[in-house]
């Protein structure tokens, strides 16, 4: 069971304003922005950027990489292998995709923490929905990476608890561009007891109370349930999706919020992380003084700095084009050739 050795986060450059969506569709509302990955980014490329930031903060090389996402660039082929290659890891490093459901974000963190070797958990996602939907408006694109290994580290996981349940709240068939959801009040009613059960158990494992936790983050796939649970927890400070202002980046969101809490936490403070996705999962971490030393020494922008930066003038039609929802006329030029396998293999360093 490892400690957290380093973390990194990546929020892409572009922002789509909710007013821009509403103006284009002449329907809907909301203010603020959602982060949008550029046409040349995907879950794999953003994972690399987040992992690079974590890698700049620690000399420990991972011996395994777990990539969690609901929007894998490939099926059948391991996307984490691309991440390892881009990071320059050699063939001793294992690579595995944790794909398909948002819960995988918490799963990858737990698995990396439990692993007996230095392991990198990378959470990366692009979330959207059909034009005009709440998921389009409230979704986001981002990635976060966490390196676990034998300490001393910047934070220690002191409790993990979860309560799972089989129920139909959010689902998507493979190949479909958008989730479907049941009425959110139904999901809320199932999530709340599970969320309380997991939190109570985690606090009991750690021997602390909710009031002892300095930083709490809560996120999940049912916005209503997250908001209600946030009101009922008794934590002093609760940070949820709206605090970052870039939308909910699905699998990556729990990582992004954890990274944000670590950007702001002091030494020897408690951080509680809860994910509501097909059940509730809570992790409790305690920071160490080494977190402050690493923050002071390391380059790279914080989550909030990345969230605040970027180009917020992206119009709606380029967003739709980049997402493949609007097919535009191509120029009168040949389509590019795909890379060939043997030269790619020879030239990969």
Partner 1 sequence: MSAIPMADARATVTTFAVDKLAYTPSPPLVAVVLDFDGGGRLRCQLADAGPGSVAVGDRVEMTFRRMTTARGIHNYFWKGTSGVRGEAELIRMASRGIRDKVAIVGMSCTQFGEHWDRSVDDLLLDAAGQALASARVRQDDVDAFWLGTAGSGIAGLALSKPLKIGYKPVSRLENMCATGSDALRNACYAVASGAVDVAMAIGVEKLKDSGFSGLVVPTVSSDGTDSTYDLSAPAMFSLITPAYSAKYGVPADELKEVMTRIAWKNHRNGAHNSRAQFRKEVSRAAIAASPLVAGQLGVMACSGVSDGSAAAIIVPVEHAHRYCERPLYVKALTLVAGRGQGLIDPSYDFTSFPEVVASAEDAYRQAGITDPPAELAMAEVHDCFTPTELVLMEDLGFAERGKGWSEVLAGRSTLTATCR
Instruction: Pick from 74, 152, 204, 242 the residue near partner 1 by CB under 8 A.
Output: 74
Question: Which tokens hold the place of 201?
Answer: 């158990």
Tokens 């402050």 sit on residue: 292
Please report how many Cα atoms fall inside a 13 Å half-sphere around the Cα of residue 20, on the Cβ side: 16
97 is a contact residue toward partner 1 (CB under 8 A):
no
| Binding track, positions 291-330, relative to partner 1; x by CB under 8 A | --------------------x------x--xx-------x
Give the residue with the Cβ less far from partner 1, 203 or 314.
314
Which tokens is 196 given?
């309380």
Identified binder of partner 1 from the candidate list 19, 32, 52, 295, rule CB under 8 A: 52
Question: Could you tell me if 48 and 41 are in contact, meaning their C-beta atoms sit under 8 angstroms apart?
Answer: no
What is the footprint of partner 1 within residues 5-24 (CB under 8 A)?
Answer: 13-14
Closest approach, Cβ 327 to partner 1, in A, equals 11
Nearer to partner 1, 38 or 205 (CB): 38
Smallest distance from partner 1 to CB 25, Å: 21
Nearest-approach distance from CB 233 to partner 1, in angstroms:
38
Considering only residues 21-40, where is the footprint of partner 1 by CB under 8 A? 38-40
82 binds partner 1, rule: CB under 8 A: yes
The position carrying tokens 């009425």 is: 183
Query: Comparing C-alpha atoms, which of 204, 210, 197, 189 is closest to residue 163?
Result: 197
What is the three-class DSSP state of 41? Answer: coil
Nearer to partner 1, 31 or 332 (CB): 332
* Closest CB 344 distance from partner 1, rounded Å: 4
**Angle, alpha carbons 75-254-33 (nearest 5°):** 90
For the bound state, the minimum distance from the C-beta of residue 88 to partner 1, rounded and expressed in Å, comes to: 5
Output the CA torsion sign for 47, 195, 272, 62: negative
Q: Under 8 Å CB-to-CB from 111, ≥6 apart: which residues?
A: 66, 98, 119, 121
Confirm or reject binding of residue 100 to partner 1 (CB under 8 A).
no
Helix (H, G, I), strand (E, B) or coil at 79: helix
> Measuring CA to CA, which residue among 125, 150, 151 is closest to residue 255?
125
Task: Identify the three-state secondary structure at position 311.
Answer: strand
Q: Which residues bind partner 1 (CB under 8 A)?
A: 13-14, 38-42, 44-45, 48-49, 52, 56, 73-74, 82, 86, 88, 311, 318, 321-322, 330-340, 342-344, 346-349
């Amino acid at each position: 069971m490892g400690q957290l050795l380093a973390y990194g986060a990546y929020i892409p450059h572009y922002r789509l304003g909710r007013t821009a969506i509403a103006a284009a569709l002449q329907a809907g509302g909301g203010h603020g922005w959602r982060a949008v990955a550029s046409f040349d980014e995907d879950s794999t490329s953003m994972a690399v950027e987040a992992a690079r930031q974590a890698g700049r903060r620690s000399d420990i090389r991972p011996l395994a990489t777990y990539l969690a996402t609901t929007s894998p660039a490939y099926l059948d082929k391991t996307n984490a292998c691309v991440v390892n290659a881009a990071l320059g890891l050699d063939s001793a490093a294992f690579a595995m995709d944790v794909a398909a459901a948002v819960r995988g974000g918490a799963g990858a963190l737990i698995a990396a923490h439990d692993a007996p070797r230095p392991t990198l958990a990378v959470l990366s996602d692009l979330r959207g929905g059909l034009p005009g939907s709440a998921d389009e408006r409230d979704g986001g694109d981002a990635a976060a990476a966490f390196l676990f290994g034998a300490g001393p580290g910047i934070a220690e996981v002191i409790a993990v608890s979860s309560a799972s349940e089989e129920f139909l709240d959010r689902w998507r068939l493979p190949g479909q561009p958008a989730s479907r959801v049941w009425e959110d009040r139904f999901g809320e009613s199932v999530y709340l007891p599970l969320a309380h059960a997991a939190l109570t158990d985690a606090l009991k494992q750690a021997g602390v109370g909710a009031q002892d936790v300095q930083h709490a983050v809560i996120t999940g796939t049912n916005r209503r349930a997250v908001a209600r649970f946030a009101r009922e927890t008794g934590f002093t400070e609760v940070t949820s999706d709206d605090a970052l202002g870039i939308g909910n980046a699905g699998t990556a969101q729990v990582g992004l919020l954890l990274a944000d809490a670590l950007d702001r936490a002091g030494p020897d403070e408690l951080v509680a992380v809860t994910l509501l996705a097909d059940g509730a999962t809570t992790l409790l971490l305690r920071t160490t003084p080494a977190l402050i030393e690493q923050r002071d020494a390391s380059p790279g922008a914080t989550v909030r700095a990345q969230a605040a930066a970027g180009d917020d003038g992206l119009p709606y039609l380029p967003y739709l084009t980049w997402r493949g929802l609007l097919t535009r006329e191509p120029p009168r030029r040949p389509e590019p050739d795909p890379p060939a396998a043997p030269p790619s293999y020879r030239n990969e360093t």
